[in-house]
Structure formats: C-alpha cells, structure tokens
Amino acid sequence: MVSIDVSAIAFAASLVVVGLTLFWKLGFRDRKFPPGPKRVPVAGCAFVMPTKNEHQTFSKWADEFGRIVGLKVFGQRLVLLNTSEVATELLNTRSSIYSHRPDFPMLEMMSFPKWNVGIMNTGSTHRSARQMLGQSMNPKAIHLYHDIMANEVRCLLKYIRDSPSEYARHLRRVNANIILRVFYGVQPGRVETENLVTLNNKLLDATSLAGAPLAYLVNTFPILKYWPRFLPGGRFQADVEVGSRLVEELFAIPIFPVNPKETMPFLSMHSGDKSQRDLARSVAATAFSAGVETSTSMLLSFVLAMVHYPDVQRKAQSEIDAKLSGVLPTVKDRLDTLPYVNAILSECYRWAPPGHLGLPHCLSQDDSIYGYLLPRGTVVLPNIWNILHDSRRHKNPMEFMPERFLGANPEPDPREHVYGYGRRLCPGRYLAEDNLWLAMANMLAVFQFQMASGADGQPISPAVEFTSGIMNRPRDFKCLIEPRSLEASRLIPDKS
C-alpha cells in the first residue's frame, strides 16, 4: 500500500495557493497600471526607451497614451506625468508620498546622495539643508547679493564686448563666479573659475550617466555592486572611482577670507559646530553643481531666442530705452519698470526649460489616480517639456511669444513646473531668478543679437536643438553679438 505524505501535499498545495495569489496580485497591478508602449517579457520597455532627444519621444507617448504613461524596465515601474493637472496633484498636493528619490546604486557608490541636496532622500539631513538654504536664500535675504550680481553682470558685458564669439564661456564663468562669491566668498581668476566649471561639467555628466536606469546593469541589479573590478563586466567600478574623485575635488574648493566690503558668504554664516559646517559644505557644493549649468542653459536659450526672434529683441530694447534713458537696468527695475523684459524671462522658462524632465521622484507608498494603481517604489517623472508646450495651456507653444504673459489674461506661469514641486521645490530659485533677469536685461540694453554669416555671406540660422541628460542646454551655435549703438557701448563700465 502506497503511503501518502500529508504534510508534503499540504506544503505543495500552499505553494500553489501562494503562487496563484502572487500571480493574481501582480497581474492585477499590471492591469491597473497606466497604459504605455508595448512591453516584452523581462526587459519590458527597455528597447524603446530613448537615449537622446527624450522630450520628443515622451511627447509622442503623451499624445498616444494620454496624461499619464506607464513604463516597465526590467521590473522597475516608471510613470510620465504629461499634464500640469496630474503633475500638480501628485507632486504638490500629495508631496508627502512623492518626495523620495529613487535608489540608483551607481550614485550611491559615488556617494552623491550623501551630499547632494537635490539627490539625497527625505529625512532630517535633507530637511536641515533646506532650512539652511531657506534662511539665506529667501526673498527678504536675496537683496544682500544684488551688488555681487550687478558686479559680475557688468564684467559679463565687458567679456562679451571684447570676445563676443566666446559668449558661452563668458556666461559660464560669470554664473560660476556669482555662486562662488555668494556661497564661498571666493573670487578666483579666469583660469581657476574655468577649471571649476570644467570640473562641474564632468560631475554633471557623471551624475546624468550614473542616474540613468539603463546605463549600468548595477542600477537594474543592485547585487552587482559587489562585483570585482578585475572580472569581466567590472569596468563600472572604475567609473565609480572617477566619480568619487570628482566629488573630492568639488569639496576641495577653498573658503577665502571674507571681503569686508561684501556680504558675508553662505559658508561663513554657517560656521558653527562641525556638523553644521559639513552640512553647509554640502549645500554650497549642491548650489555650485546645480546652479552654474542651470543658469547658463537659461541664458544660452535666451541668446538663441533673441537671434531667432529679432522683433522680440527690438521691443525689449525699446522698453529699456524709454524707461531707463541711458542707464543699465537694476533688479529694482524688474517688475514695474521693465515688464516686457520680465516676460522674456518667463518665456525662456517655458520655451526651453533647462530640465526637460526634472529630477525623478519615487513613491513611498501605493497610490492611485484616474483609476490607475501606482505601486510603492514607482519612479515618477514630470514631463516638463510636454507640460510647457501643451497647446491647451499655451497658444502656439513652439513660438517664442513673451506677450503671452502680459495683459489681463496671462497664460499660466511656467515657474510652477521649472523649479520643481512640493518638498523638492528649488530653494535657490529667488537667487537664480534675479540673476537671470539682470543678465538678460543688461545684455539687451547693450547688445544686438543676430545670425552669423556663412562664407557666402548668407545668414546661418542656428538649429533649436538641445543636449540630452539631466541638464538640457542648447547645442553649440554661432551668432553675431555686437553693441547696438555707440551710446549703448558707453554703458559698459571700464571698471566693475
């Protein structure tokens, strides 16, 4: 007679029940997940994910699948938020569960989340860093830095006058100097500043690559972070070492003695105990790593727009000439005196946002919207480019039209999306805003921006194209920049 092992049967039955339950739950979650491009087993959407011009692909998906698009890449769920309404609801109204950052092992191995306030996860350190920035960068405190901005912008005018073809290098140098003076009390020479800018660009490239889900297998399979460097596939460990060295160089920026004629720099304001000094160092490093290229991207987009839209340029210059009569603009002229120039800044935000997607958010618990289930751990990306080029919000969205932000019924303010959301709202936005406006207004007061000419004498229309990655700046383009009149050239001070 055959004996029956009841316990074995019970165990097998329980495995079947558990397996069916998990299969049903996972299947249910997939059925309730937002629609998106076709997936293949295991890899999901990995083979259709764009590697460049991401905003173009994601906008096509928005047209095809609607206001929220669901993706799966090797088991990792991602959603794209394609409208202002859904981005505002989830990332602002429900910010308590949408403020986390996803885990990227490559970034963690390079120690980026330990110091970069934009990347680090929510918690006491992140909260303290934001409070520290809020104390020094709030609207009431920003006026303390206006003299520094004005001084550097006057230098910018001289640099561009003397070597206009190198305008992009001048913009980076001046943006770097403003942050170095505000946060570190440092005013280095040209070579030192450009070395720091080069370091920062390498750091941004490393961050962008390390935070890309498909760039390194270790981001998909975290267990690989223990893979030895000398074995096949261990090359990523060398990239970790490079990224770590870049971070060390960033933290080696010296703190110079405070110039008694200038406002006390950020680091000197927060020079208490070691923990406070270390946190202030992290905040300053974050400001430099994020602020320089973001502001430079915006000003490059401004130059590109002025080249393509000469009527906008002339209208702004007419406003400056009529209101200021032969003096350079100051921050005080921004809202009441030069509203059209302020509208140009708003349109630059909308027309060419420096981050087409912004930084990714991560859900800390299950959530739902419009009948869709968004499981905990889902990576959430606001499709900022699509939101700011939505024809329902902005008329003729591909055109550069500052007038859309003037009059009795202005279009929605792009700042609602450009500077982030909820608990991730950029705390340095007031400093950046005044800096950008001042630079644009002064360049308009002095210079004329035109298309460069080719060998045949015909104008060369620069392409409106952008780099890929975390930061999206216009691709290099040639243009002609020269003083618009003898009177305008006299506005450039010989000494700053």
Distance CA 287, CA 431 (A): 11
What is residue 495's predicted lDDT score, i.e. its pLDDT? 65
Q: Are 399 and 116 in contact (CB under 8 A)?
A: no
What stretches of 394-471 show up as alpha helix (H) in DSSP? 415-418, 429-446
- Which of 52-61, 245-254, 395-404, 484-493 is predicted with the least confidence, judged by mean pLDDT? 245-254
What stretches of 353-494 show up as alpha helix (H) in DSSP? 384-388, 415-418, 429-446, 486-489
What is residue 92's predicted lDDT score, i.e. its pLDDT? 97
Domain ranges across the chain: 25-489
> What 8-state DSSP symbol labels residue 358?
-
- Three-state DSSP at 474 gives strand
- What tokens does 136 get? 């020094």
What is residue 258's predicted lDDT score, i.e. its pLDDT? 52
Max Cα separation, the chain? 112
Q: Assess whether pLDDT exceeds 90 at residue 275.
A: no
- What tokens does 165 get? 């073809």
Q: Assess whether pLDDT exceeds 50 at residue 7.
A: no
Q: Are 48 and 37 in contact (CB under 8 A)?
A: yes
- Three-state DSSP at 139 gives coil
Q: Are 225 and 219 in contact (CB under 8 A)?
A: no
pLDDT confidence of 326, banded at 50, 70, 90?
A: confident
Name which of 486, 485, 481 is nearest 450 in CA terms.
481
User: What CATH number does domain 25-489 carry, 1.10.630.10, 1.10.10.10, 3.40.50.2300, 3.30.565.10?
Assistant: 1.10.630.10
- Which of 302-311, 435-444, 482-491 is predicted with the least confidence, judged by mean pLDDT? 482-491
Cβ-based neighbours of 335, under 8 Å, separated by 6 or more? 342
- What tokens does 406 get? 């003037």
Q: Assess whether pLDDT exceeds 90 at residue 403.
A: yes
- Give the C-alpha distances (Å, rounded to integers) separating 122 from 282, 291, 356, 388: 15, 21, 23, 27
Tell me the backbone φ, ψ of residue 460, rounded to 5 degrees: -100, 115
- Which of 146-155, 212-221, 389-398, 436-445 is predicted with the least confidence, judged by mean pLDDT? 212-221
- What tokens does 123 get? 């918690």
Question: CB atoms < 10 A from the CB of 99, how many?
Answer: 19
- Three-state DSSP at 53 gives coil
Q: Are 466 and 180 in contact (CB under 8 A)?
A: no
Strand stretches in 370-466, DSSP E: 372-374, 379-382, 447-451
Q: Is 426 part of any known ligand binding site?
A: yes
Question: Tokens 């999901």 map to which residue?
Answer: 44
Distance CA 171, CA 160 (A): 9
How far is C-alpha 170 from the chain's CA centre?
A: 21
Cβ-based neighbours of 430, under 8 Å, separated by 6 or more? 137, 138, 139, 142
What is residue 263's predicted lDDT score, i.e. its pLDDT? 62
User: How does DSSP assign 95-137, residue by residue?
Assistant: HHHH-B----HHHHHTTHHHH-TTTSPSSHHHHHHHHHHHHHH
What is residue 260's predicted lDDT score, i.e. its pLDDT? 58
pLDDT confidence of 25, banded at 50, 70, 90?
A: very low
